A and B are shown apart, each in its own frame.
Chain A
Amino acid sequence: MITLSMNGLPVTVEEGTTLLETARFFGFPVPTLCHADGLTPYGACRLCVVEIGEMARPKLVAACTYPAEQGLKVRTASSRVMRTRRMIIELLLASCPQSKVIQDLASAHDVRRQRFRQEHEDCILCGLCVRMCQEQMMANAIGFLGRGERRSVGTPFAGRSETCRLCGGCMYICPACQLRCTYNEPEKAICGGCTNLSPPCLEKQQFDDMMCYRTPCVACEIRKD
């Protein structure tokens, strides 16, 4: 067992526990977009940053990937953490303003505006779908393509995947597309399909046109018009 201090509270956890798991177990809220139980921690969204270390050189690390260490001093909501978290939410909002999850995050963290040039992207490249496909569905149908600003999620050579079983796991896990899973009726904005693991588009016959690889998610049905 490992004893560490979290927000001044001495806590004891099992070895191998991450800081995020520790924080959640003891009831400290730490937001995250790229973490899901059952998938390998990835550390991509940087929302879950917490401050560790003492006076001299405290640093920020992603709570989802950092293991609990004996005697570690962790602050999950210091002013530095909150400041950076707000900036990351602002960046998210500037890129994906339509996502309900991101809007909720912004509202919860009192982010009222974004000061960057507005973009309308769909994907935040959290990598949940890729890991879902690899680790839970054992399909390896999708992965990351490109790097830097050209990074995207897709199938090899952007062709139709032969290993994709159209299971819908990628859509189920996607944190950014919850509002946009609108099938082809935009007015039914929240269809609930994502949450019961049977997105309406799966019942539809036109698999050919379905995104599956989430570029651009189910919204493609709407955009084609």
Chain B
Amino acid sequence: MERLESIKDFKALQERIIADRDPQMPVLVIPAGTCGQASGANDLIRVAKRELLSAGLAERIRLRITGCHGFCQAEPSVLIEPEGTFYPKLGIKEMARVVEAVSRGQVLEDLLWRDSTTRKRIQRQSDIPFFRGQRRTLLSRHEKIDPIRAYDYIQNGGYSALVKVLEQGDARWVVDEVKASGLRGRGGAGFATGVKWDLLANMRNAAGKFLVCNADEGDPGAYMDRSVLEGNPHSIIEGMLIGAFGTGATQGIVYVRTEYPLAIKHLVIALRQARELGLMGKEILGTGFSFDIQIVRGAGAFVCGEETALIQSVEGHRGEPRQRPPYPVEKGIARKPTAINNVETWANIPIIINDGAAAFAQVGPPHNTGTKIFSLVGKVKNTGLVEVPMGITIGEIVHGVGGGPSGRAEIKAVQTGGPSGGCLPAAMFDLPVDYESLSAAGSIMGSGGMIVMDENTCMVDVAKYFMKFLKDESCGKCFSCRKGTQRMWEILDDITTGRGTMDQMDLLEELALVVKDTSMCGLGQTAANPVLSTLRYFRDEYVRHIQRKFCPATACRDLFVYRVIADKCTGCGLCVKVCPTGAITGPRKQLHSLDQSKCVKCRACYDVCRFDAIAGDAIIAVPAA
């Protein structure tokens, strides 16, 4: 790649690349992020390449391998441009057919996405309910860009925000623009990005300032940062360059988990390309502005996503938070002023500069502007990354974009904000998703995990699961967080195994409030949320576990047994077939019997009887004692 010496050079290159593009040429877009590859995208790519070469189509049809588009449910999928035809869940054989159909300009009806309610086939990606309900400002760019090709990014308007900033030459304007956009930190706390930058810009430090991209995404069930890093690493680089210009920072760091090998690979390639093109490093585009970015790999501690712990980790110390003040913006890495922003925040910066702060601020309610990516997982039909404007209700996400419950059980709650977030009941699904509303309801925005739970999920068990995660991931520095999470888990364990008492439940609440109050960092301060929010909205489940020693969701194995109801059993034999341990016996057409000593409570018989057997509900869960 040729080094670009001036802004003129860049514009010439951009014009040339755009002119080279033939918008009518069909493109096979195969999303191959970590998730896509895991579900078989690599096989599709291999087949597509072979078919294109053997049929001599390489000059007529392009192949673009991109990052994740967000629709995990449909992986591995193929998107055909320019029509936008979408083929979900393709196998190797179907892939060959798709290549052939594209070469003839046909659409394969039988492979298209089928809507689960109307049973109709939908051709275009943008018409599928999952995509229709979203506002994909960030994610839609993933479809256009091969992450390891810088030219792809430039062709789609990449680095033009940087050029705009360099042409303007006014650092103050950049900070004011970000401030006016109302962008708030996407890492979870929601601190106004413009204000943070303003603080950093006002710091006088001749020895340099740091900008950090926090990509230590550790929440179970959340992967939006990974997807952005994998799918569009140049947007992070561009965002950080703009930030550096605005704040006068001299050194950039991307702190990324080692567990994200593909994201690191794409980022390393993107950094090298940006350096070769003269878009990063010394004398960027000949303007005298210099900034360089390095990668620091995290060693796998959840708490290192907390900014003071992240700084310690970057410096090579144990990843432990320290009390603020001094804030990182005063004394951060190497005691120099440091601003830390989340991946998604950085990815939004080029959009704000390109489209203007006013356009960005129009999306979403005041003080909660822009779009936010959520990872919608759990018991919904359509799982995946969804990008929606702020202020949309939880119900719109779960039922609209998510398509409602995946099974026959009703949706009971949604857990937002990762392990430190809270569970909100279905009755509160008209709550708008913004920082303040979620916080008032006892949950947090967090980095944007959204786990949907149905009637088969036990809320006490959920609280116990998250508490286990937190007690293992607490750094252990604060006594209240270390011992508090251990003791909370202990009480929850007692309750889910039938040893709990009502006094313990009160103690649990008392302890949770103390842990929330006294812990040093964000992890401890929010560690009580899973307990407090479930106690607030699902107290009756706790009481049932303690007083009746019964878990109606059949999640706590010590608190129920399965029993065959003699009157109802028709002896259909389905349960005998599915039982993995041979606990259910009985000849056909006769009452089956269940041997409790062999039963491992796997729930297979219960489900099969409830939903598939003629009798229905002949197997029920009853309290153990």
Contacts and interface: CB of A to CB of B under 8 A. Distances in A.
A146 B318 CA distance: 10
Summarize B's interface: helix, strand, loop or mixed. Answer: helix
A46 interface: yes
Given A84-B517, A117-B490, A144 B318 contact: yes
Nearest to B321: A43
Contacts of B483: 91-92, 95
Contacts of B480: 46, 88, 91
Contacts of A125: 476-477, 479, 482
A45 B514 CA distance: 13
B474 A147 contact: yes
A60 B515 CA distance: 11
Interface stretch (A61-69, A160-168, A201-209, A210-218): A61-69
B479 A45 contact: yes
A80 B513 CA distance: 11
Contact of B490 (A47, A116, A144): A116
A65 B322 contact: yes
Contacts of A43: 322-323, 477-478, 520
Contact of A147 (B301, B325, B479, B484): B301
Interface residues of A, number: 38
Interface string B149-167: 0000000000000000000
A93 B85 CA distance: 65
A144 B474 CA distance: 14
A59 B517 CA distance: 7
B517 A80 contact: yes
A11 to B, nearest CB: 19
A91 B487 contact: yes
Interface in A64-92: 65-67, 80, 83-84, 87-88, 91-92
A84 B511 CA distance: 9
Contacts of B504: 115
B213 to A, nearest CB: 24
Given A115-B503, A116-B487, A116-B490, A151 B325 contact: no
B486 A94 contact: no
A47 B518 CA distance: 9
B490 A46 contact: no
Interface in B480-494: 480, 482-487, 490
B475 interface: yes
A197 to B, nearest CB: 26
A141 B135 CA distance: 56
A149 B476 contact: yes
A49 interface: yes
Interface string A135-173: 000000001101111110000000000000000000000
A101 interface: no
Contact of B478 (A44, A66, A149): A44
Contacts of A149: 471-472, 474, 476, 482, 486
A191 interface: no
A182 B472 CA distance: 33
Contacts of A60: 517-518
A62 B323 contact: yes
A30 interface: no
B482 A148 contact: yes
B479 A92 contact: yes
A35 to B, nearest CB: 13
A150 to B, nearest CB: 8
B105 to A, nearest CB: 58
A65 B476 contact: no
B558 interface: no
Contact of A151 (B482, B487, B514): B482
A115 B471 CA distance: 19
Contact of B487 (A59, A94, A127, A148): A94
A143 B477 CA distance: 12
B510 interface: yes
Given A91-B479, A144-B318, A146-B476, A49 B518 contact: yes
Nearest to A59: B517
Nearest to B491: A116
Contacts of B485: 148
Contacts of B94: none
Contacts of B447: none
Given A44-B479, A117-B490, A88 B323 contact: no
Contacts of B472: 147-149
B549 to A, nearest CB: 19
A44 B477 contact: yes
B428 interface: no
A125 B478 CA distance: 9
Contacts of B484: 91
A124 interface: yes
B471 A148 contact: yes
Contacts of B219: none
Contact of B473 (A46, A115, A148): A148
B514 A87 contact: yes
B520 A62 contact: yes
Interface string B506-542: 0100110010011110000000000000000000000
B322 A88 contact: no
B568 to A, nearest CB: 43
Contact of A115 (B475, B477, B507, B517): B507
Interface in A173-205: none
Contacts of B520: 43, 46, 62
Nearest to A66: B323
A126 B486 CA distance: 17
A101 B520 CA distance: 23
Contacts of A126: 479
A84 B480 CA distance: 10
Counting from the closest, the 5 A-B pairs by CB-CB distance are: A151-B476, A65-B323, A87-B514, A46-B480, A46-B518
17 contacts: A43-B477, A46-B479, A46-B520, A47-B479, A60-B518, A65-B322, A65-B323, A66-B325, A84-B517, A87-B514, A88-B479, A115-B507, A125-B476, A126-B479, A144-B318, A147-B472, A147-B476
Given A43-B520, A87-B510, A115-B504, 6 more contacts: A46-B479, A91-B484, A91-B487, A115-B507, A125-B482, A149-B472
Interface of A: 42-47, 49, 59-62, 65-67, 80, 83-84, 87-88, 91-92, 94-95, 115-117, 124-127, 143-144, 146-151
